[in-house]
Structures are given as structure tokens and as C-alpha cells.
A and B are shown apart, each in its own frame.
Chain A
Amino acid sequence: MEVINKAKSFTYYRRKVVNIIMLFFSFAAAIITIIPLILIFYYTISQGIAHLNVDFFTKLPTPVGEPGGGMVNAIVGTLILIGIGGAIGIPVGIMTGTYLSEFGKNKFGSLVRFLTDVLSGVPSIVVGVVAYTLVVIPMKHFSALAGGVALAILMIPTITRTTEEMIKLVPHSYREAGLALGIPKWKTTVMIVLKTAWKGIATGILLGLSRAAGETAPLLFTALGNRFWSTNIFQPIASLTVYIYEYSTAPFKDWNDQAWTAALVLIILISLLSLIFRIITRSKYKT
């Protein structure tokens, strides 16, 4: 009897100890995950802030060896690029998402749903290659438009899936109420369902835009980059991300420093985007 009890208590302790060890590991993993995040933010802010000044937002880049200068062309360039991307990607994304949730309960709908998921996993550099063959080769030169097309393709899956999910959350009774009043289905969808889901859709758009703002790979051989002031969408254009890449891989100390500042500005820009969207969607709701 005593032997059995001993064996029992041993198993019991073993199970308890294993339990505590495993739980501790999973907690430790959560802490370890946060460390790189803190490190990256720490370095970006501490290194970037040193060269952050008014010149950075108002002046063009200087040639190698000449200190100072800014990246105003790249800041404007990034905004233009995500503007082009949004102008193409947002309508396509919203319309496809509307189709999927309102009419897509068939085989074709599931196929499109599946393909948008797959599309979201396609590497951004491959999308860049497609934009190159699609826009740069026929036009025979690099352009902001080509970069915008690449960013649009990258935005479409995010916006489509959020639109679909958000429209699905709108209660069915809203649609029925609209239809019962004799409103045609399309008007019900646009003026009641989409309007109700607008806040969620805007979050999806914001997510798509801010991801696009951080993309580098698809811009390398589409928008290319430009050391001068340009807002022409048919010409190469500068962007913050491409500058970060070029300046960080160059062997010049002052360029490396500016890369950190550009990274800080990029993070600030992305945060501002989300702030602006939040304000817009909030005021829309209160009125």
C-alpha cells in the first residue's frame, strides 16, 4: 500500500513540476518576443532623433560628403506613391469585398476568397517584377505610376478581406429593414450596409496604406528613386524606404545617420496615418 502511495505521489509531483516548468517557458517566450521590438524602437528613436531637424523636412538630399540636407522629396514621394496605390487598390478592394460578402456564397466566391488569401502571401518583390513587366517595359522608363501599381496589388488582399469581414458583421435585420421599405438591394447595400461597416473598412484601408508606405522591394525597380524634386507620376520618384535602403548600405557615415532619421520619420508617418484615419472615422460616427 505504501509503495503504491509513494508511486502515486511521485507521479503527482512530476506532473506538477512539468506543469510549472512548461508554463514558465511559455511566459518567458512572451517576454523574449517583446525584446526585439523594444530594441528596434530604442535604436530607431535614439539614433534617428540626433539628425532630426527642420532641414530634413524642407531640403533636398545633398551630394556625398556635403553635410546637411533633407528628404522632402522622399516624404512627398512616399505620399504620392501610396496615393496612387490607394486610388487603384481601394475601389478594387471594396468592390471585391462587397461582392464576396453580398453575392459570393457560391463556388466562384470561395475561389476568389481563397485567391485573395494566396495573393496576400505573394512576396512583394515578385509583385514588383510584375509591375515592371506590366508598366515599366511598355513605357520604357521607371515611373511613380509603376510603383503605385505594385503597391495597389499589395493592398488589394488586405482591403478585400477586411471589407468582407466588416460587411458580414452588419446585422441581417438592417438589410431586411431596407428591403422592406422598398429600397432596391443595391441602394440598401451602398447606403445602409456599407455605411454601417464604414469604420471597419476604413481600418482595413489604413492597414493597407500603412503597409504600402513601408514597402521597399516593389519600388526598387518600378519607382526607382530620384535625387531631385519630382511630383510627375510618369517619372521616377523618391521614397523614404528606398532611401533607407540606399543610405544604410552605403559606406558613408553621414548617409548612415540619415538612414536612421528616415526610418524614424517613416514610423512617425505611419503612426500619423493611423491617427488621421481614427479622427476621420470618429467624427463621421458622432454626427
Chain B
Amino acid sequence: MDIVKDRETFEKVQDYFKKSKEKKSSGFLNKILGTNNLGDIIFERLTLLFAVLVFLLVVFMAWEMYSHSTLSIKQFGWKFLINSTWDPAVTQVFGALPMIFGTMLSSFLGLLIAVPLGLSVAVFLSELAPAWLEKPLSFLTELLAGIPSVIYGLWGIFVLVPWLRDTVEPFLQNEFPNSPFFQGAPYGFGMLAAGLILSIMVLPIISSISRDVLKSVPDTQREAAFALGATRWEVTKIVLSNARSGLFGAIMLGFGRAIGETMAVTMVIGNRAQISASLLDPGYTMASVLANEFTEATTDLYLNALIELALVLFVITIIVNMLAHLLVWSTERKWK
């Protein structure tokens, strides 16, 4: 008998729980969110709202620039990208080619110096340096990244440019009198100065991201190589090859920073819309045109052309950054 009674009680209790569960899950809010607390719902929605805002911001930025450059897009079409005339004064013809060329050349020059140095620093910090040296060195390179761009420019104008004009450029012209890269009067202001300033500014980015990428390679890889009798450098080579897509991503991030860098470049590049093979000649970059001419744009077409230039720069940096982040992520995830 007792067993039957127990059985009845058990079923009753079970029934009660079932009902209360149904009651809970039947709530409309519960169905969509899994909670009955109104505060929770409001809070989640609120944070979601801000996340959507950030998402929309990126889309909105592109739209904002597109809709304010329609005049120039209609007038020049795709020719905007391949026309080498930039003449706001007389004919009002705008072509972005000299600036695209200048942006690419100066960034390339910057990377040419910054990549070998930055990677070596990363190797030193992650593979070789003892802990007491690593921390202050990392701090110093990060300090370099924290200096405002305009201070680099100031230093460039009054220290780097005179040095280039009086020492480096005459030397280069003496050593390589026939090289097409070192023709023209040595002003100091020009592509070479821009490339050098960019290399200093991009270096901390490349070195700190590469260091993180190298550190994500597990120690077992190194131990295995050491166990086979490899030297330090040979072990490092193995680590480097394991991390190569991430390192490539770090370089791309540096490249993205270089093409968007504005103030320091504007202050030392000389600001002339021309395409010249000589590194001593003044040039122009997309960012520096914007910095220089935006407030001087007198006609609507001129302003539209400048905003279109910003849009082109935006699209290029977005693509470069997307690729870079995918590469860095792919390496760091590989070892997780």
C-alpha cells in the first residue's frame, strides 16, 4: 500500500513541476529570451543597440562619403582613378593617380625599411631577450607608437629634412649619379623623407603584432627543434615559418597604417601632384591632399572630388585591414 501511496505522491510532485515549467516557458518574453526578468531584457537589448550602432557606423561612413561625392563620380567615373591631372585652379579636372602613386610609393618605402627591422625586433623580443630586458623594450616600442603623428612631422621638418638635404641626398647623388631614383635638386622634402618617417611610425605596429604572433606558437615546436640539435637561429627559422601567415598579416596592418598616415607625411613630402621616379622629388598622398586642400575647396566639384578621394582611401584601407586581420586570426587560432 505504502508503495502505491508513494507512487501517487511522486506523480503529484512530478505533475506540479511539469506545470510550473510549462507556466514559466509559456511567457512570451521567456520564449524569445530565456528569461523573465524585464531588467535583463532591457539590458541585453540596450547593449545590442550599441553593437548595431557600431556595425551601422562602418556602413554609414561609406554611404556618407559616397552620397557627398556624386558630382565628381558622375563627372569623371572610373577615369578618376587613372587620370594623372589634378588641376583645381583652372580646368577643374581631378584625377587621383598621382596621389595613389604617392601613397603606394611612400608606404612601400616605409615598409622596405620597417619590415626587416620590425621582424628582427619581434624575434629578439619573443625568442631571445631575457624577461628583464623584454618588458622595458616592449614598453619603449609601444611608446614610439603613442607619439602623436604631428610631433613626428614637426621632428621631420626641423631635424630629418635638413639632415637629408645637407648630408644624405648629396651623398646619394654623388654615389649614384646615373640612378633615376636620385635625380633633381635635393630639397630634403620629398618621397625619401616621407618613406623614412613612415618607416619609424610603422615599425612599432609591425614589431608588436609580430611578437604576439610569434608568442602564440607553442613551445613544443621550439623544444622539438632544440632536441634535434638545432641552433637558436634554426629554431627561430622554424618558428617564423610556422607563423608566416600571421607575420604577413602584421606587415599588412603596418601597410594599412602607412597608407592612411596623414600629418607626418603631409609635413615632409613636399605636396606636389606629380608622378616621378626620383625619390628626392616632392610628391603627394591621398591623405595629405585631404589635409592640405579640404578647407580650400572653393567649388562643389572640387569638394566632391576630395570626398571621393577619401572614399577611395577608405575602401583601400578597409580591404587591407580585413585581409590583415584574417591572416593574424588564422595563425593565432591555429595553435589554440
Task: Assess the B39–A263 pair: CB atoms within 8 A.
Answer: no
Residue in chain B with minimal CB distance to A221: B294
Q: B residues within 8 A CB of A279?
A: none
> How near does chain B come to A178, taking the closest CB pair, in angstroms?
12
CA of A115 to CA of B56, assembled, Å: 10
Q: Which residue from B37, B127, B262 sits with its C-beta under 8 Å from A123?
A: B262
Task: Assess the B234–A19 pair: CB atoms within 8 A.
Answer: yes
CA of A71 to CA of B158, assembled, Å: 21
> How near does chain A come to B282, taking the closest CB pair, in angstroms?
14
CA of A109 to CA of B44, assembled, Å: 13
Q: Nearest 9 CB-CB pairs, A to B?
A: A123-B260, A214-B148, A29-B120, A186-B43, A99-B47, A121-B321, A95-B50, A217-B262, A19-B231
Given A30-B120, A121-B253, A266-B148, the answer on whether A22 and B233 have CB atoms closer than 8 Å is: yes
A-B pairs with beta carbons under 8 Å apart, 9 shown: A23-B128, A27-B124, A28-B120, A96-B54, A118-B318, A122-B260, A126-B317, A133-B307, A241-B150
CA of A103 to CA of B44, assembled, Å: 7
- Interface 1/0 per residue, B292-336 and A, CB below 8 Å: 001100000000001100100110011011101100000000000
* CB of B123 within 8 Å of the partner chain: yes
> How near does chain B come to A48, taking the closest CB pair, in angstroms?
10
- Interface 1/0 per residue, B81-119 and A, CB below 8 Å: 000000000000000000000000000000000001110
Q: A residues within 8 A CB of B141?
A: 33-34
Binds B, one of A1-9, A35-43, A55-63, A168-176: A35-43
Residue in chain A with minimal CB distance to B151: A263
B: residues with CB less than 8 A from A are 35, 37, 39-40, 42-44, 46-51, 53-55, 57-58, 61, 64-65, 67-68, 116-118, 120-121, 123-125, 127-129, 137, 140-141, 143-144, 146-155, 157-159, 200, 203-204, 207, 231-234, 236, 253, 256-257, 259-263, 267, 287, 290-291, 294-295, 306-307, 310, 313-314, 317-318, 320-322, 324-325
Task: Assess the A118–B231 pair: CB atoms within 8 A.
Answer: no
Task: Assess the A214–B65 pair: CB atoms within 8 A.
Answer: no
CA of A111 to CA of B59, assembled, Å: 13
CA of A213 to CA of B151, assembled, Å: 12
Interface of A is mostly: helix
Q: B residues within 8 A CB of A39?
A: 155, 159
* CB of A10 within 8 Å of the partner chain: no
Given A25-B120, A103-B47, A241-B150, the answer on whether A220 and B54 have CB atoms closer than 8 Å is: no
Residue in chain A with minimal CB distance to B141: A33
Given A40-B155, A99-B51, A216-B150, the answer on whether A184 and B124 have CB atoms closer than 8 Å is: no
> How near does chain B come to A79, taking the closest CB pair, in angstroms?
15
Task: Assess the B155–A26 pair: CB atoms within 8 A.
Answer: no
Residue in chain A with minimal CB distance to B261: A123
Q: A residues within 8 A CB of B306?
A: 129
Q: A residues within 8 A CB of B144?
A: 33, 36-37
Interface centre among A134, A184, A216 (most CB of B within 10 A): A216
Task: Assess the A100–B231 pair: CB atoms within 8 A.
Answer: no
Q: Which residue from A104, A119, A215, A249 sits with its C-beta under 8 Å from B58?
A: A119
> How near does chain B come to A217, taking the closest CB pair, in angstroms?
4
Task: Assess the B124–A122 pair: CB atoms within 8 A.
Answer: no
Interface centre among B46, B148, B236, B259 (most CB of A within 10 A): B148
Interface centre among B149, B207, B234, B261 (most CB of A within 10 A): B149
Interface centre among B67, B123, B204, B257 (most CB of A within 10 A): B123
Task: Assess the A130–B61 pair: CB atoms within 8 A.
Answer: yes
> How near does chain B come to A109, taking the closest CB pair, in angstroms?
8
* CB of A244 within 8 Å of the partner chain: yes
Q: B residues within 8 A CB of A129?
A: 65, 290, 294, 306-307, 310
CA of A199 to CA of B187, assembled, Å: 49
* CB of A282 within 8 Å of the partner chain: no
* CB of A73 within 8 Å of the partner chain: no
CA of A44 to CA of B200, assembled, Å: 16
